[in-house]
A and B are shown apart, each in its own frame.
Chain A
């Protein structure tokens, strides 16, 4: 039974809930059982002078010096308390600093810490780096399209048909691959693309639409397109080639926009600042893209020896670029609506011309025929795309100047 007396020895702590049971004794006393039983005078002698070592007038100051980084960056006392505990300071240690517990010690340290130093500038959100994969992939549609156009020019008859089909397929796949990654990719891949059909229609119209409309107004078309630019249903390959080549500059300008916007994000103090800084950036990027597209169009026209339809290609390019830029920043709804409306308008113009051939419907086509005979077939897509692009530009200046559009992507842990 004598053994149970051991449990009540004063040097062993009384149990849970009584952390202060030893009431402010220095830690040295805790070793007393060992000392008494070992009865080592040497050790006891050593320990005596060690006691006043920390007995300076202000023990907290030394502690604060040791944890000064913690004190300087703490936003409230509990943060200091958590940090101190992580460094092994307990309530019993806190008694050495004449505090009841770590919390009150932390409060004193928080109150005494100097937080005058300027807050370190918040690290800019890492701007996305240009990466080789998307940079190369965006070159692919242009290259393949150029190859397809060359193949169509060099072949005849049925092989030309095969070349055109293969070229279309290749360009479509390349475009899909190019838009899957890089700055023009959609933020959430899971959502289905809403505007793919209508984008395809718009591009197809740029390729075939003017010839069809011309032919329709003149009473045709009498034959299927042959693939030649001078046939009865001419193929206008220049805008499509220029647009395909413009994939790369579109991706680069979008990348530039993202990177610059991130930098502005880090530099601006409030949301108004940010909007004011991003608006000219957006317009500049847009103008840059149009400039590059113009150059590409000129070069393509010269290479293919065709007239360059500047107005309709530039409006279509602007529309597609803005739509993709908005989609890439998470605003997929408005671009989808606008693209659908534009494509519907173009389709309606064609349909009206064909409907007017029915008896009694002749009046329907008057506006379209007037347009086509006065200014040419290109005015229909120019007007449709121009209005749509303008609408999207206004929308983009409102949406893309918001800070939330440029929030760094969530880390998917």
Chain B
């Protein structure tokens, strides 16, 4: 199978977001071929280069999202009119202005909020259709004229945006947009719609792949949507962090009008991607809830847990006896969201009941804020716990130690988990808790706060306490410290659970299954004709690609035409389904 992997600020770049996961996926599915289509996020990222690519990556095409060379495309009169129409429609959907529906109905009390959450609930199907039609209209225009970068930056775009914002029915926040706001929105839309102007959708690009796999939502899914629109390639969207949520959290300072318009754009784009994708995968239940909220169908949602490499932890996991029975371990990046202060207070409570207990805090600070926080925690630990020694003639030290991976004491991450009997997590905010999975792979019992995806990771194999509750944390820890048998039981269960759910192999296997499932349901886009011109059914199943490399340097023939004995079939392309139902569905 040939898979188009779409990334944004991700995979082949050294500093990419999900590069580790994508790299494992591509290497793990060596029997499939990958074409990587990467949108880069910054000059810095491009300068750092790519990670080494495995041989089953056939090609990488990149496009910058941070700068645009002026394409010098001058639109003709008719193209300009089409552009104004489509962009006007897009802007009208974003501003909430009604196209033909009477604005009276939504002028009633609470109308604004109903309209604002419209895209989230999928309640306004006609609005979603208008957005999709406008988007694909722009894409077709860009394909015909060669690029829309100039047009999207032009005065006409700003003017259209202004008209949409002043139209009757537009949201109140949007109606207050001033000229700088309009310019900011136009610039952002131009950047976000840059995939429209790319030449990726021809038959030698995304038109030739069997499946598009977007490694994140948002802008990365846009090329997949367009490929689906132009050539009918099925789309798979994978989100480990919800792109829409990231958008909300990343642009806090813009004026309300800008935030409103951009939130509407990203919300509708996400909804469109979820609606058109064959399968949408989430990394955990939390992401899945957001996707459902943004209009993804439950039937197409799958949870594919991120995979962790279990090998470094195997040795520790299989020898549970090496743990020091009186040591608690905390592992992670030191930052305020981890709430180490609460952990230290809990540890004070634990020391009252189990005086010999020690706490190892392993991790490097994240950023300047993290460094300050680490200093604060060190001070607090020194105040709460005096140094203590074994006897009157020994040198004492503090029961709380702050360490980092890589020193002589802790050469590897697994050693950190190995040294403790219980792994503690005290965060108040957490996404997918990697350190918990690592502890589980090491066969260590965990005590963690109930945040983020902790509960679904832990299952029943550890103790979960509410966040910001040092006493509960302390009680759970003391209970486990006093009960070695229970510790061992839960640790073994944790390791079994982690090996079942959170390994690289299960991740790759899940995607492999999803690929086959999607392709088996996707309509055949290319038929092979025999010499009389009649179609040969089942001549090119997606699985026909033999997982070895042919010596002959004609990969496209091998991929498309099947094995050499198949009498040189003639390739033909089925007509693309008419575009109108595509957008209107």
Contact = CB atoms under 8 A, between A and B. Distances in A.
Contacts of A408: 180, 183
A15 B113 CA distance: 35
B17 interface: no
A183 B22 CA distance: 45
A78 interface: yes
Contacts of B428: 88
B293 A103 contact: yes
Contacts of A123: 255
Interface in B473-525: 475-476, 478-479, 482-483, 485-486, 488-490, 492-493
A372 to B, nearest CB: 41
B259 A43 contact: no
Contact of B460 (A15, A191, A270, A412): A15
B186 A13 contact: no
A78 B116 CA distance: 9
B429 interface: yes
Interface string B459-470: 111111111110
Given A3-B486, A30-B472, A413-B42, A271 B179 contact: yes
The SS class assigned to the B binding surface is helix
B117 A76 contact: yes
Contacts of B467: 88
A3 B485 contact: yes
Contact of A75 (B186, B260, B452, B475): B260
B464 A12 contact: yes
B245 interface: yes
A10 B117 CA distance: 37
Contact of B475 (A27, A34, A91, A273): A34
Nearest to A191: B70
B324 to A, nearest CB: 21
Interface stretch (B100-108, B151-159, B309-317, B557-565): B151-159
Nearest to B431: A85
A19 B69 CA distance: 48
Interface stretch (A172-180, A287-295, A386-394, A399-407): A399-407
Contacts of A184: none
Given A19-B455, A111-B113, A119 B464 contact: no
Contacts of A77: 113, 116-117, 120
Interface string B261-303: 0011001000000000000000011100100010000000001
B50 interface: no
A87 interface: yes
Contact of B469 (A31, A73, A120, A402): A31
A78 B476 contact: no
B178 interface: yes
Nearest to B262: A75
A130 interface: no
Given A12-B460, A111-B110, A402 B256 contact: no
Interface in A37-92: 37-38, 40, 43, 46, 73, 75-79, 82-83, 85-88, 90-92
Given A15-B459, A43-B475, A268-B179, A30 B113 contact: no
Contacts of A87: 429
Contact of B493 (A7, A19, A120, A191): A7
A390 B125 CA distance: 54
The SS class assigned to the A binding surface is helix
A242 to B, nearest CB: 35
A124 interface: yes
A110 B263 CA distance: 15
B328 to A, nearest CB: 14
Interface in A95-142: 101, 103, 107, 110-111, 119-120, 122-125
Nearest to A409: B187
A305 interface: no
A359 interface: no
Given A8-B460, A111-B110, A38 B478 contact: yes
B70 A7 contact: no
B475 A40 contact: yes
Which of B158, B187, B460, B485 has the largest count of A CB atoms less than 10 A from its CB? B460
Contact of B450 (A7, A30, A86): A30
B41 A413 contact: yes
Contacts of A269: 178-179
B293 A78 contact: yes
Nearest to A91: B289
Nearest to A37: B479
B267 A88 contact: no
B260 A33 contact: no
Nearest to B159: A271
Contacts of A6: 460, 486, 489-490, 493
B162 interface: yes
Contact of A83 (B116, B249, B451, B461): B249
Interface in B214-269: 244-245, 248-249, 255-257, 259-260, 263-264, 267
Interface string A169-200: 00000000000000000001011000000000
B173 interface: yes
Interface residues of A, number: 72
A274 B179 contact: yes
A322 interface: no
A373 interface: no
Nearest to B483: A37
A38 B486 CA distance: 14
Nearest to A119: B256
B128 interface: no
Nearest to B467: A88
B512 to A, nearest CB: 21
A43 B471 contact: yes
Contact of B429 (A73, A88, A91, A190): A88
Contact of A78 (B120, B452, B468): B120
Contacts of B469: 27, 31
Given A8-B460, A35-B475, A413-B43, A79 B179 contact: no
B285 A265 contact: no
Interface string B81-97: 00000000000000000
A6 B492 CA distance: 12
Which of A15, A78, A406 has the largest count of B CB atoms less than 10 A from its CB? A78
A315 B452 CA distance: 70
A297 to B, nearest CB: 36
Interface string B162-202: 10001000000100101111110011000100000000000
Contacts of B116: 75-77, 110
Given A77-B113, A90-B451, A111-B110, A31 B475 contact: yes
Interface in B57-79: 66-67, 69-70
Contacts of B187: 407, 410
B502 to A, nearest CB: 12
Contact of B461 (A7, A273, A412): A7
A404 B293 contact: no
A110 B460 contact: no
Nearest to B247: A82
27 contacts: A3-B493, A4-B493, A7-B461, A17-B285, A30-B472, A31-B469, A34-B463, A37-B479, A75-B116, A75-B173, A76-B263, A76-B267, A77-B120, A82-B245, A82-B248, A86-B429, A88-B429, A90-B452, A122-B178, A122-B180, A188-B70, A266-B178, A271-B159, A271-B179, A410-B187, A413-B42, A413-B66
Given A6-B486, A15-B460, A31-B472, 13 more contacts: A16-B303, A31-B471, A76-B120, A76-B267, A79-B259, A86-B429, A119-B176, A122-B255, A270-B166, A271-B179, A273-B179, A404-B158, A413-B42
8 closest A-B pairs by CB:
A34-B475, A16-B456, A3-B489, A27-B466, A82-B248, A31-B472, A7-B460, A75-B260
Interface of A: 3-4, 6-9, 12-17, 19, 27-28, 30-31, 33-35, 37-38, 40, 43, 46, 73, 75-79, 82-83, 85-88, 90-92, 101, 103, 107, 110-111, 119-120, 122-125, 188, 190-191, 265-266, 268-271, 273-274, 402-408, 410, 412-413
